[in-house]
Structure 1
């Protein structure tokens, strides 16, 4: 994937509600993220298999980041 596509991917992760990142199972999360990214014009040219593989390989990191965000939000509000 291009650097621009990778930046867009991680921006989406940052903007996505924590509960989505943590409650969807792996397959559903890959599909959901892929659909969100496909809405971007330049990402329509990215091969679906490549995009899904990229997302799948990073699911543990995505969930770790979401857990950290959730812990920070809980700590900040309490």
Structure 2
């Protein structure tokens, strides 16, 4: 995954309302972040797969960050 895409991903998470992140189940959170990224720039199938796997591996961290805001 490119550094640019990583920055976009974490920017989406940083600017999201904590309550929204915490209200979603794991798959809903992954889907929501991916939708937000796709609105910013189109992703090819390889990038979609990479982003999906990456977000799934970071769900706990994303929730921890949201709880601590």
Q: Please identify runs of 4+ aligned residues in structure 1 that moved more than 6 A.
A: none
Gaps of 5+ in 2: none
Count of residue pairs the alignment pairs up? 68
Structure number with larger C-alpha Rg: 1
- Residue number in structure 2 paired with 1:36: 36
Gaps of 5+ in 1: 70-78
- Residue number in structure 2 paired with 1:5: 5
- Residue number in structure 2 paired with 1:21: 21
CA distance, structure 1, for counterparts of residue 12 and residue 35 of structure 2: 11
- Residue number in structure 2 paired with 1:57: 57
- Relative contact order (alpha carbons < 8 A, sep ≥ 6): 1 or 2 greater? 2
- Residue number in structure 2 paired with 1:76: none
The two structures have a TM-score, normalised by structure 1, of 0.80
CA displacement 1:17-42 (0-9 Å, x = unmatched):
1111111000111001101001122x
